[in-house]
Amino acid sequence: MEDISITAFIEAVAKQKNISKEIVLEALKQALSAAYRKDFGEKNQNIKIEFDPETGKMEAFDVKIVVADLPEEKEEKVEKIEKVEKEEKINKKKPVLVPVKAPMSSTGTGVSVGKDNLVTTMVGKRKEGIDNEEVRRFNSRKEITISEAKKIKKKIKIGDELKIKLPAPDNFGRVAAQTAKQVIVQRLREAERLMLFQEYKQQEKQIIEGTIQRLEQRGAVVGLEKAIALLPFSEQVREEKYNPGAKMKFYLMSVNQSTRGPEIILSRRHPAIIKALFAKEIPEIAEGNLEIKSVAREAGSRVKVAVSTEQENLDPVGACIGQRGVRIQTIISELSGEKVDIVKWSDQTEEFITNALSPAKISSITLKEKEKKAIVKVANNQLSLAIGRNGQNARLASRLTGWEINIEEAKEVLDKKEDKKKDKKEDKKEDKKEDKKIAKTKNKTIKKRKISKKSITKNNTKKTKEKSKPTLSPKKAMASEAKLTNNKK
């Protein structure tokens, strides 16, 4: 591998993967170290390659930490422990690594030291010649004793790093180019995943925009700017539809590292999404002039938000609503039409509960401090408003204030109702008495009218009879009278 090609390779990969040159250079160093160790190194060498991209020089070093010399007794113990480990490898017994001292037990449990100076418990028969003292194991690949180090460099101390320069073969560049390719790609992938993880980890507990890509058994897959996230069913709102291609704002719940990259979990029903949306749409909250004290939400239906401010000239509720409701309408549209109630927070519990139960008008509130209960009394015409549909208003107010709220009808209203009922009964009784009197008088008048009608009919019949008699002329009348007189004689 030529020096110019390595420098160009670093710049090309940095631009392609959109990562810093330092990360690419570190990955390249690790790849070159692995290539040198594989083809030219030894088992006990801790090889590190130093590469200068400006000059194009490469140097190989065997890097070791200087440690104190071990006594002969401990060296013998280490040798015995190594024999035990070899036997375990043959028997295919896997020791359990424990990063603490593990003394010998009477049941025959031994102790050894594994890699990186970890004490290892060995389950099996007790090994002869090994006591229960902790033995520090000498790592020949990464460590060198002070006596050996002084042979190379006289002014070296315990704890110092000793670099032993190694020869670079002529064909190392060509061999490294072939061997290091896979290692470089793997290291760059790991670096890219780490960068994505760190980038989205910084955005945790914030609002992030994304596009619904597809629906799976686990939930909805959301495409972000540089990664893919998951919206589980448990974090979805039932009333919302997640159609592929729909753009939405999500609350970034958690970011975890995995072998495939960052595992990002989103939410649409978390109460914190309300705070994040308010902070994004209302500058007074982002600036710290306005504070959200508490949030109570039933996702997809309704949410209550308690806000407060220390500035006298600032109306907290009005600032959240905005001119002609522009601010709050933006938030409602982001929540797919969910109702939002903004409540003014107060350190006075009675006032806060009254505001939380709005738009209902409260008659009186009785607080039980020990039980943290509030008995709220309202008029009959305000009872349905205070409770809300299926008790939603009272339920959200209770969550918002942190008090158990019991809503009752006011006694004064009940007493007035009872008085009205009594008055109505008495009025009915009086009305019945009057009706009876009127009925009697009506009967009397009807009888009188009947009697008068009878007398009128008699008189009329007489008159009709008289009228029915025939009338005679004067001559005939005189003749009839004469006949009557003669007959009498």
Question: Which CATH number is 158's domain given?
Answer: 3.30.1480.10
Task: Using the CB atoms, write b or e for 65-84: b if 16+ within 10 Å.
Answer: ebbeebeeeeeebbebbeeb
Residues 426, 364, single domain; the answer is yes
Residues 189, 224, single domain; the answer is no
Residues 36, 9, single domain; the answer is yes
pLDDT at 165 over 90: no
What is the number of structural domains in the chain? 4
In a domain, 451, yes or no: no
Contact 26, 13 (CB under 8 A): no
Residues 216, 254, single domain; the answer is yes
- What are the tokens at 34? 């692995």
User: If pLDDT is split at 50, 70 and 90, which confidence band does 462 have?
Assistant: low
pTM value surpassing 0.85: no
**What 3-state class would DSSP assign to 476?**
helix
Which alpha helices (DSSP H) does 203-268 contain, by range? Answer: none
Contact 251, 232 (CB under 8 A): no
Strands (E), 259-301: 261-267, 291-298
pLDDT at 174 over 70: no
In a domain, 131, yes or no: yes
Higher pLDDT, residue 152 or 387: 387
Instruction: Among 18-27, 279-288, 303-312, name the one with the lowest average pLDDT.
Output: 18-27
Strands (E), 124-167: 143-145, 161-166
Contact 273, 207 (CB under 8 A): yes
In a domain, 470, yes or no: no
Residues 190, 218, single domain; the answer is no
Q: What is the pLDDT of residues 116-163, one digit of tens each?
A: 444 444 444 444 444 444 445 667 778 888 888 888 888 888 888 888
pLDDT of residue 189: 80
User: If pLDDT is split at 50, 70 and 90, which confidence band does 79 have?
Assistant: low
Share of the chain above pLDDT 90, in %: 21
Domain boundary among 430, 445, 468: 430
Residues 170, 211, single domain; the answer is no
pLDDT of residue 1: 42
**Residue 422's domain is classified under what CATH number?**
3.30.300.20
Read off the pLDDT of each residue in 282-286 and give the average, rounded to a whole number. Answer: 90
Residues 191, 45, single domain; the answer is yes
In a domain, 483, yes or no: no
Residues 78, 133, single domain; the answer is yes
User: If pLDDT is split at 50, 70 and 90, which confidence band does 86 have?
Assistant: low
In a domain, 31, yes or no: yes
Higher pLDDT, residue 396 or 91: 396
Residues 405, 259, single domain; the answer is no
In a domain, 452, yes or no: no
pLDDT of residue 78: 54
Contact 138, 67 (CB under 8 A): yes
pLDDT at 342 over 80: yes
Read off the pLDDT of each residue in 38-43 and give the average, rounded to a whole number. Answer: 74
Whole-Å CA distances, 285 to 69, 252, 256, 303, 316: 64, 20, 29, 18, 10
In a domain, 256, yes or no: yes
Residues 386, 410, single domain; the answer is yes
Whole-Å CA distances, 151 to 61, 72, 144, 489: 17, 20, 11, 203
Question: Does residue 99 have a cis peptide bond before it, meaning omega lies within 30 degrees of 0?
Answer: no
Residues 32, 181, single domain; the answer is yes
Residues 418, 365, single domain; the answer is yes
| Domain range enclosing 189 | 3-58+152-196
In a domain, 454, yes or no: no
In angstroms, the CA 388 to CA 399 distance is 14
